[in-house]
């Protein structure tokens, strides 16, 4: 489709940022009531046809990223572990053929405990996946049922065991502030997770997203704000005690195990997204472009064949960029070097001076000139901090 963009008025980008590849596999066994991702309950997955579309999508995207090296690959969903190891191998083989993939690239695949088994994990590892991210959410059967999950606590434990066997690094996803959950139960989930010595752990507050069943009809007995805050503080303290660093709003990692793919997002790197509903952010010398692909899987597969699968293209304007950059960078508890702002946006940092002064005066950001870093208060009230950078 024709690209209609507004070029931003800046000094331009001297060096393009690192590039990641995101691959969206949109099917799940069952749609969870809290999920607002572009995922669809499987009525039989057209794996071969969908992979055909993915690879054609990737070929059509090559002119936008020609010659650029891929630093990380992330299979998200949906539930990517519903795809066969052979299918994942076919995708990664094509990626290596079409693009320069770094030899030590981090390749992550999201998996759910209800869909994994030893043979499949081994196959994913053989295909080149280096990291799995397991959507455990809870080990408590009552809470899993309340969340509409299809796995039970035993499935979750078995999946964590398999992840530890087959992968040097893996992530366990947990949620807290669940319906009827007590502080003791939140701590118990964490202790069970830590028994598997995960190199990385994500802990998310259950949120009631619009346009989800939970958004329309909230579940009963949700913890109040004070109890949820107590859970968050207890989780942070326990993980710190276990030697895990709280490096991003919801992410904790042992040394050298932070998610490199997600770090590239937070540091305002580039990413090419292929698949149904995937988003891209691509930097050129004189503009930064966001793209979105057709959301529905069948419509996406049809549209790729017609080269009409990119449904939205826009350039970030000069007024967009400060908020877009800070929305990512300030999720990192240690922030980013101040020089990264100009390197990734092509704009001088002084255009943010009024917002930075307000943030520092309100105790939301550190005052060091060489670093952009939220204070503990800024981490706790991140939305208030980010609003200062909205100029539109």
Does residue 177 carry a pLDDT above 60?
yes
pLDDT, tens digit, 9 for 90 and up, residues 313-351: 999 999 999 999 999 999 999 999 999 999 999 999 999
Residue 331 and residue 250 in one domain: no
Q: Which of 265, 298, 332 is the last residue of a domain?
A: 265
Q: Is residue 90 a part of any domain in this protein?
A: yes
> How far is the C-alpha of 139 from the C-alpha of 113, rounded, in Å?
11
- Which residues, in sequence order, are CB contacts of 154 under 8 Å at separation 6+? none
Q: Is residue 307 a part of any domain in this protein?
A: no
pLDDT, tens digit, 9 for 90 and up, residues 46-59: 999 999 999 999 99
Q: What is the DSSP string of 302-359?
A: HHHHTT--EEEEEEPPTTTHHHHHHHHHTTBTT-EETHHHHHHHSS-GGGGHHHHHHH
Q: Is residue 285 a part of any domain in this protein?
A: no
Does residue 6 carry a pLDDT above 70?
no
Q: Is residue 271 a part of any domain in this protein?
A: no
Element (H, E) at 345: helix 339-345
Range of the structural domain that residue 123 is part of: 19-265
Q: Which of 246, 265, 284 is the last residue of a domain?
A: 265
Q: Which of 265, 280, 295 is the last residue of a domain?
A: 265
Q: Is residue 23 a part of any domain in this protein?
A: yes
Residue 239 and residue 335 in one domain: no
pLDDT, tens digit, 9 for 90 and up, residues 287-308: 999 999 999 999 999 999 999 9
Residue 89 and residue 185 in one domain: yes
Separation of first and last alpha carbons in the chain: 27
Under 8 Å between Cβ of 118 and 132: no
Q: State what percent of residues in the chain have pLDDT above 70.
A: 96
pLDDT, tens digit, 9 for 90 and up, residues 112-132: 998 777 678 999 999 999 999
Q: Which of 302, 307, 306, 308 is nearest to 49 (CA)?
A: 302
Tokens 């952010």: give the residue.
Answer: 281
Taking the model in full, what pTM does it have? 0.94
Q: Is residue 276 a part of any domain in this protein?
A: no
CATH number at residue 380: 1.10.10
Q: Is residue 297 a part of any domain in this protein?
A: no
> How far is the C-alpha of 367 from the C-alpha of 304, rounded, in Å?
48
Q: Is residue 192 a part of any domain in this protein?
A: yes
How confident is the model at residue 118, as a pLDDT? Answer: 66
Q: State what percent of residues in the chain have pLDDT above 90.
A: 89
Tokens 């981490």: give the residue.
Answer: 379
How confident is the model at residue 9, as a pLDDT? Answer: 42
Number of domains in the chain: 2
Residue 91 and residue 177 in one domain: yes
Q: How do beta strands 288-293 and 310-315 pair? A: antiparallel
Cis peptide, bond prior to residue 78, ω within 30 of zero: yes
How confident is the model at residue 115, as a pLDDT? Answer: 73
């Amino acid at each position: 489709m024709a690209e209609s963009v507004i070029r931003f008025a800046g000094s331009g980008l001297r060096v393009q940022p690192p590039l990641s590849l995101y691959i969206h596999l949109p099917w799940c066994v069952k749609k969870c009531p809290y999920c607002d991702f572009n995922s669809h309950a499987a009525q039989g997955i057209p794996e071969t046809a969908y992979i055909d579309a993915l690879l054609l999508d990737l070929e059509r995207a090559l002119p936008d990223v020609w010659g650029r090296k891929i630093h990380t690959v992330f299979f998200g969903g949906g539930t990517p572990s519903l795809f066969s190891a052979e299918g994942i191998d076919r995708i990664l083989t094509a990626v290596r053929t079409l693009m320069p993939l770094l030899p030590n690239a981090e390749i992550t695949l999201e998996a759910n405990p209800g869909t994994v088994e030893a043979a499949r994990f081994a196959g994913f590892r053989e295909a080149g996946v280096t990291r799995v991210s397991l959507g455990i959410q809870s080990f408590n059967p009552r809470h899993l049922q309340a969340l509409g999950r299809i796995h039970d606590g035993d499935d979750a434990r078995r999946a964590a065991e398999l992840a530890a066997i087959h992968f040097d690094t893996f992530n366990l996803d947990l949620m807290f502030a669940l319906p009827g959950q007590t502080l003791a139960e939140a701590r118990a989930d964490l202790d069970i997770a830590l028994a598997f010595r995960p190199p990385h752990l994500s802990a998310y507050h259950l949120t009631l997203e619009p346009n989800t069943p939970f958004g329309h009809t909230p579940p009963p007995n949700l913890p109040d704000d004070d109890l949820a805050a107590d859970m968050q503080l207890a989780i942070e303290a326990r993980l710190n005690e276990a030697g895990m660093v709280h490096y991003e709003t919801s992410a904790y990692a042992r040394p050298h195990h932070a998610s490199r793919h997600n770090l590239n997002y937070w540091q305002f790197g580039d990413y090419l997204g292929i698949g149904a509903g995937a988003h891209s952010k691509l930097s050129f010398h004189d503009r930064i472009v966001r793209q979105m692909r057709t959301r529905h899987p069948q419509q996406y597969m049809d549209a790729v064949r017609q080269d009409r699968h990119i449904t939205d293209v826009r350039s970030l304007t000069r007024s967009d960029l400060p908020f877009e950059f800070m929305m990512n960078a300030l999720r990192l508890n240690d922030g980013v070097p101040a020089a990264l702002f100009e390197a990734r946006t092509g704009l001088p940092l002084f255009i943010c001076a009024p917002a930075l002064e307000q943030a520092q005066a309100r105790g939301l950001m550190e005052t060091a000139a060489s670093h952009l870093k939220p204070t503990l208060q800024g981490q706790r009230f991140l939305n208030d901090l980010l609003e200062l950078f909205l100029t539109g």
